[in-house]
Structures are given as C-alpha cells and as structure tokens.
Amino acid sequence: MRLSEASISGQRALVIGLAREGLDLSKFLIEHGATVRVTDRKSEPDLKEAVEQLGGAVELRLGGHSIEDLDAVDVVYASPGVAPEHELLQAARHRGIRVSSLIELFFASGRSDSMPPRPRLALPRINRSKTVSAWSSMV
C-alpha cells in the first residue's frame, strides 16, 4: 500500500530526537497533516536552530524524556540515533502504540500496489557528502 497524505493526516505523532533526522521528520509529518510532539534530552538552547526552523508548529518537550510524552499519541517515530531499547520505545510497545521511523516512511512512500518496487538509495546525514563522493566514483 502506498503511503499517502491521508495516512499521516490526523496522526498524533511523537518524534524522539530533534537533531538531524528528527527535524526533517517533524517537518515532513507537519506538512502531511500530523500533530507533532517532539521530545529530546537536549535543552531548548542546545537545539535553538532546530526549534527556530519548526517555528512553533510542534509541541516541544525538551531537556529530558518522560513517559507522559506518550500520552495521547498514535505513533512514535524514533530518530536513527535512538536505541531500540530506549525507555519510551519500550513503553510505547507495551502500550500498543505503533513505533516507526523516518526510514520506514521513506520506503513506504515508494510502495505501490500497481508498480514494482523502485530502487532507492538512502544516505544518513552524517558524512553524506563523503558517502556520495565515494559511491559516485564507483558507479
């Protein structure tokens, strides 16, 4: 089934981790109609640039994580740097809340019932330019 705006619209999403992919994920979810809450162990001054980019479009819970961050959410998205055994992910699974990620959304956006899968190349933000340079020299 192809990911559609309708499948994200109306979601009450928790994003764990604002830096790097968490910022891009939050923007994507907002653009597709989700209500987004973000939690990060870093404080607002440490995440100033990311907070400014979101411009008040999300509920921020910064400076630590709390089990209450899971209240009234439908899905939890974890940034790649968040360990699978993170307490919020474990608690979400225990509560029956779906756990997902930016990578899962990326691959879901390319699925279609009527077309074969398309090749994809996913590169993490860290050392992306070096990775692309090295990869393109091999192609």
Burial (CB count <10 Å: 0-12, 13-18, 19+), residue 45: exposed
What is the residue whose two structure tokens read 């979810």?
A: 29
The reply to whether 124 falls in a domain is: no
pLDDT band, residue 1 (cuts 50/70/90): very low
Domain limits at 40?
A: 5-108
The reply to whether 135 falls in a domain is: no
The reply to whether 42 falls in a domain is: yes
Q: Quick check: 137 pLDDT over 80?
A: no
Least confident of 25-29, 38-42, 124-128: 124-128
Q: Quick check: 124 pLDDT over 90?
A: no
CATH number (domain holding residue 42): 3.40.50.720
Q: Quick check: 106 pLDDT over 80?
A: no
The reply to whether 59 falls in a domain is: yes
The reply to whether 69 falls in a domain is: yes
The reply to whether 115 falls in a domain is: no
- Count the alpha carbons within 13 Å of 118 in the hemisphere toward its beta carbon: 14
pLDDT for 100 equals 93
What percent of the chain lies above the pLDDT cut of 70? 73
What is the distance, to the nearest Å, from the Cα of residue 127 to the centroid of all Cα atoms in its chain? Answer: 19
Average pLDDT, the chain: 83
pLDDT for 116 equals 47
The reply to whether 125 falls in a domain is: no
Tally of domains in the chain: 1
The reply to whether 119 falls in a domain is: no
